[in-house]
Structure 1
């Protein structure tokens, strides 16, 4: 088996080699230091020996030296100096009187003094030593003996023994190093190599019983500690590995379970990484979007979005970026997906950042809202168009009339509003039946569309009432009136022509009223009232004719202006009062709630309908104050009933809230304060809001509603289906009740479109788990039809009209 070379260090880096080299170097250095110390010691001791030896020799010839000085005998002095300097290391000698006069001197030849020395003698830098000895006799100094000694002569003789000692010391050091290296290799390096090899060859198996270096486990030295710690570390790694394998197995099982779950869901689910590479898609997604899993998974999402509009692709990309950056769900309410065959699918998509298989990814969950979108479009169309004739209804017409007034004010061009109804339609409708009457209305609508200009708006307001809005007639008033009169006469003429319906000849005539507009500052309601006044004038004048509005017909408008002025006093003088219309459970026939409605008892004109004075309150800016009064009075009355045990905890008092009041800052605090003042449970209160209030500012509406919901307040949407009917807000807002508008209930028995709208609303409410209340139920037939459709709560004249508090209290006790 080939050994892993990476596990074998280079020769020069092995611990054994380093240990031997280190031992040799230490031995050499130690030997050198010892040798130097010996040499220095030898030099010093030799110098001392020389001094001792020469002093002994001088002492031997002391008498001769004394004699030569006393006698002044130079020959005797030379002879004695020769004897003293006989040793080779004495290279010069001199005998001097105490006055420094020379008696005798002797020296070795220069060739002798300057010869080359061997061994350590040659290493001495300053070999000459001078020695001066005083010669005395009876404590009297006779002179001096001066000697020059060369220590090299002596060292040369002992240098060989010093070198031999140095070699012996070096040999001893090398031997000791080898012995130490052997023991180092055997008892340290070899066990470490064995442990290292076993660690290298030990697989990570998850077996916590795996051991290495078993024969060293019992050692109580550092090797034993190393082996035991290595085994502990290996057991820890194996335990971690085992836990990791278990976790990976559990993760794989979890991924499989999640994948199985995703495959069973009807939602369209896919996962992609941050670069757009598609990692996962369930069958519902692939099937609905008609994609091939073999080419889809692993591909770039952009490759499959080439048919999608650029704006939609950009919106999806931005949603991906938001999901990654914010790490919260991002909702795309509607994304249009185009298939290769040209068909479209509307999707509602939610995106959120997740971790998928160890990397950051984006999870997209979509659901098909195509059918819901079509339903929404259908409901919206029916809300703005007359289901029988296809013409715009009152809501849409008033919107277009407002736009026409704005254009006329900007351009200075006159326009005309024609208001008419059929003179003898009721006779046909009563005698021939409603279906026959519907055919008449449909034919009339067709004739009107053929008669007017393309830029004119024709609408059916209800029943047999129609209106035509003509714009941009002329800057000249008279010319405009001529053009408007000509169109009105054409309408009258065309309507006079007989109709053939079910082989029956129908002769219809109409009475028309015209109101012209330019920049008079009229609003749509006032202009419509003017045309309506002129139309009734035409009827009063014999029918089948055209009457133009005149100022003298404006008595009703004057009356409204007076009412507007009276509104400001009505609140201060407590002329307003509340009536309550019961809300009934048709199954139990019990009163389960009531709607609080405001009325005005005018001191001169009697009780005035809210349809007249509420617009005046809004124009006068009093709606907020009146709304506060209604809220407080309704809660006060309900609290009184509750304290008398006339109503149970499930009872709901429905209170209409105006847009101005609802948008007022601190509205939620105001409601909570009133509830606290009268000690009424918040769940007994149901605030009614309108669709227009929601559409104007859905973010503020949702925030205010959630604040109130947190204290227990319930919410209902009033007159549902008559406004924009944007279904998106139904799931965004905390709603509890949908109230079906009485306009749909009124035609429930004879209008298929009304039936379809009511059925759609009830079905949708059931899916959203919302309660429904039908408004304006007046007959048992209507109630029976509603019960068949699943609506069991209603209010209307069938049970009771709105009544004052005392009468309502009697209804509760009955």
Structure 2
């Protein structure tokens, strides 16, 4: 029987693309008629064919199954829905899906009417999706990422395998909410409880980093994410979320933050001005010193263009040198005059990836005095940003490796460099560790383990070596055979370098590269232990460079640092490699000489020879660039050959011997002897007496007041001078106890007592018209002035009713004024607002900076007695006195001369315009009652 014509392929069925076709089969003769699209899908030529013609194109692996299913459907007259593979004429394999329905017509005729669809692409996508899902599961294990859910009705939390591994509990553990929260550290537990409660009650999702305590007691950091799950009626039926171990990330972030904080603190505290510019010449950072020299707060400069904010620089030396540094990628050093501020600056600029880093300092004073200064180099170590993990996938079956894109940013390789066999990776392991690492991996696989972890050195593409932490998780088939390993590499190089740097800084001085105090003390203790065993004697040398402070004050710290480095090298040259030379602090060095003779006389001779060799080499000229410096050293030596004394006692004795050498004229050495301890004991006794006296000030201390006379001969003020009447020693000279108070810090308490007594006296004199006008000048030490509570303490005294703060004058030294100038000016202004005035004491005896002097809110300059003493016979002193008077007049300051003992001295000072006088010509320091009597005389 001839079949009815086959209808066209259904519209929009995909026939146009060859994906969907129609067919029918007459059951009377098993003849099939196929549409054009159906023939194209199945690879058949004629429109009419037999069932066997179709079946012969079925893939051999599925032919029997397909034939059985087709004949079973034909026999039962059932609906047909079957998917299988076919092989077309060219050998191409395709996936098809066949569907058919049985149609019965009048007369008993029956036929199947059906369709055939090419589902090859659908099958491919489904296979890819299943593979991706599997890879996602593997990656979750690598990234320590798991999921969880909570059904409020069941009251249990369902954890994924990874979440169980993070908690270190058996897989399948399903705790209650309270039990789950109980795993968290106490500081995180309360926070998570609130978050879960808010999510359950109000539907508020959360994403928090918290600390977890595992079942084994380990503390780990995790990221916990939760969101509500709502039922059909919209109510919250439970929670679900994700859970990730972020301990490595948290540790890396903490280390990066610590390093950044140390770096920031270093830049903020260095004495040089420092700033950075981007490639558009915009400010990106300024430290406090740069703010001060630019005279602009950093908030006004950040993001602004250098040449626009300081237009006078454009076209000048700095403009050309900065552009040359950027263009040629080279360091530039130059000096430049900035006319608007009338200052010379020495500038050192370094090109970097972000733009330019610049150090500069004000060298105006040094240039005026024609002294050559060199800017000391500051080495700046850039801390690299924390790197991301490099994820890799190793197929053990075909030995192929895949690496994530981050391998390029971390190690310089592209993912394609590692797309082949595993040998492409193992060849980049450091040769010294390659065999060990590969052996460990093979052992982990052979032992049936599920993971491998190792630390080793890895060669970057540029040839450098990186320290890495590598870990991989092994996937096995049902038979336990390892088929895949997925892992991640972490670059530990910066952490290792930081650890080595910290270890170095703990034991060595950065400037001189000598052992520091810590390492010295350890070696000294070892030498003491050896001496206790009677092996040999040793000697400890305490070395101080003479007049080093003078070099620093006159030529700057840069030259001082050069001198210290050269001195360190010279000391090393005098010793054997078994001996120790350490920088003890400042300009002090300590040498430990071991292996000396047990005979004390021979040991003394050995130590003396080494000490004299040090003295000779240290007194040789120092080449400090354009400046040649001559220096000597004072050396104290103590011998020891048993452990009777501890290391601290030995250092103290060597220090005492060094001071004995200084007292002997410097540039020499001295051995310790017991008389030095007697002197130290006397000093300690005086210190103890001073401490006792400060607890009973009213009984032992008293204030005397030396009058200050104006040009008209009138008493206008007094200087408060403290006197100490010791109950046993009698009157103790201020020359003895004031320096001791300064050195021990007791001067702060003593100074506060003096201020209190002076203010009480102001209050008493205010009640008498004859004395109400008297000003009291009080000396303030450096330590007292820079005490954090100094301003508050003074204001508490001068705001007492009846006290006129204008009658209190604080005398400061140049040292206290020039130490932290900004803080000094702020404190002075705070007190001047209440009427307190200021005098600069002993002007001209220290390092006077006229640039700072004009910024300070002073009221008076005091000519030091050392200039007044010989001004009648010494032309230099006379010139200095006249200059100070002229300077005070030009700055609008009153000038007082102290130490005036002769009328001729007073006349000279009067002639040149001095405003006030103090000294024995008028009166010594008097008790308050005597001052009152003087003031009341008509």
TM-score, normalised on structure 1?
0.39
- Which has the larger share of strand? 2
Which protein has greater RCO, CA pairs closer than 8 Å, 6+ apart? Answer: 1
Instruction: Report which of the two has the higher share of helix.
Output: 1
Using the size of structure 2 for normalisation, the TM-score is: 0.35
Which is higher, the Rg of structure 1 or of structure 2?
Answer: 1
